Structure 1
Amino acid sequence: MRFHRQHHAMYEARMHGGFGFGFPPGPHGHGGGGRGRGRGRGRRPNVRGAVLALLVERPMHGYEMIQEIDSRTGGAWRPSPGSIYPTLQLLEDEGVIAPAEESGGGRKRFTVTDAGRDEATEAAQTPPWAEFAQDTVNSWHDIRDAGMQAMQALRQVMMTGTDDQRERAAQVLDETRRKLYAILAESE
């Protein structure tokens, strides 16, 4: 049992990040296909707990889990495959989960074993996605929508603007980038 706790603690330290939006590494996450997104400076979400909480509901495969967590947090947390699949492998190695009898679409679905039932039930009581308060999710949507609208405007400038307009757009983007980093540099 001691080995399990030590192994689990090392695993948690390495794997609890893995967000998927492609921001550069920083205080909000680490590498592995995605970075911190909408989290602030708090602790990283519990991927293991999320996987187990989902499997209490029904058998799922890794990609399904990524989509479910993304959906349940309104896009504020989308674990990367680099955090989900190693978690599934670890849980399977520990005997906490096992492949489901029927795996659909060529993807391996997992289910909770009897040995993992208590841990999974406990994880489902307060699932990790519950950490994302509705105001955080709404804030994420507002920022994402504003960014998408800005990208559409930039696309128009690039496609139909003059050389002078494209140059001025590049200056606006440079200024915007500096201002965004200045926001992050502000003390909390």
Structure 2
Amino acid sequence: MTESAFTMPGCGPGDRIRFAGEPRRRRHRHFGRGHAFGRRAGRGDIRAAILALLAEEPMHGYQIIQELTERTGGVWRPSPGSVYPTLQQLEDEELVREAASESGKRVYELTDGGREQAAGAPAPWSEVGGESAEALATLHDLVHQVMAATRQVAHAGTPVQLESAQEVLRDTRRRLYRLLAEDDDAE
């Protein structure tokens, strides 16, 4: 049966009925997944990062993800959806090739052309991690604390508390955007 086969009063198009025992679908965004929290990693960054890491040693895709996450203090966590297609593109361009592996995983190493391209290029994770990594991690933690507090107010708050919480969040959002506008004015 398709999802559209079931309709109920009050359900609109795209709404789905969850049946007993069926797990809920979680829909939320993860800060830091695939990009730096506060600064999106550029499209060229993942390519340069892969070349720089493979210049150090052959790796498989998951190792590349782990290394980038570790080297940026968790600020930049590239997704498999950005790493594996980039590896395939680099292989198509003959900049990387599969290497023999004891683990049976697809391990990649640089070709001579890949070594030439990786030589002398600055490590792209240094500009992402840098000195602000700790400040970004603290901001990330605060966002999660605010989300947890918001959930508690939503669950246990009175209608007056819910309205007050909405106004606090609206004001906070406006103040954050104002910070960015002030930064743009200073430049």
SS at match of 1:135: coil
Q: Does the CA-based 8 Å contact 1:21-1:37 persist in structure 2?
A: no
CA distance in structure 2 between the partners assigned to 1:158 and 1:104 by the alignment: 48
Give the TM-score taking structure 2 as reference length. Answer: 0.68
1:75-90 equivalent positions in 2, closer than 5 A: 75-90=74-89
Moved over 4 A (4+): 20-23, 33-36, 42-45
Aligned partner of 2:98 in structure 1 is 99
Runs of 5+ unmatched residues, structure 1: 1-19, 24-32
Partner amino acid for 2:64? M
* CA offsets 1:72-118 (integer angstroms, 9 cap, x no match): 1123323344432332112101111112212747x532111234223
1:132 positional shift: 3.3
Structure 2 gaps, min length 5: 1-28
Q: Percent identity?
A: 47
| CA distance 1:103–1:39, change in 2 (3 Å) | farther
| Number of the residue aligned with 1:53 | 52
Q: 1:144 to 1:118 in 2, by over 3 A?
A: same
- Secondary structure of the equivalent of 1:147? helix
2:132 maps to a residue whose letter is T
Residue aligning to 1:37:
37
The change in CA–CA distance for 1:98 and 1:44 in structure 2 (over 3 A counts) is closer
Q: Does 1:165 align with 2:164?
A: no
Q: Sort the Cα spacing of 1:35 and 1:120 in 2 relative to 1 into closer, same or farther, 3 A.
A: closer
* Superposition pairs of residues 14-163 of structure 1, within 5 angstroms: 21=30, 37-39=37-39, 46-102=45-101, 104=103, 107-123=105-121, 126-132=122-128, 134-163=130-159
Q: Offset at 1:134?
A: 3.4
Q: CA deviation at 1:161?
A: 2.2
Determine the C-alpha separation between the residues in 1 that align with 2:49 and 2:181.
Answer: 31
> Is contact 1:47–1:83 with CA below 8 Å preserved after alignment?
yes
TM-score by length of 1: 0.67
What amino acid maps onto 1:58 in structure 2?
Answer: E
Residues 44-75 of structure 1 show CA distances to partners (whole Å, capped at 9, x for unaligned) of 66222210111123322323322321221123
Partner of 2:22: none
- Contact 1:69 1:79 survives alignment (8 Å): yes
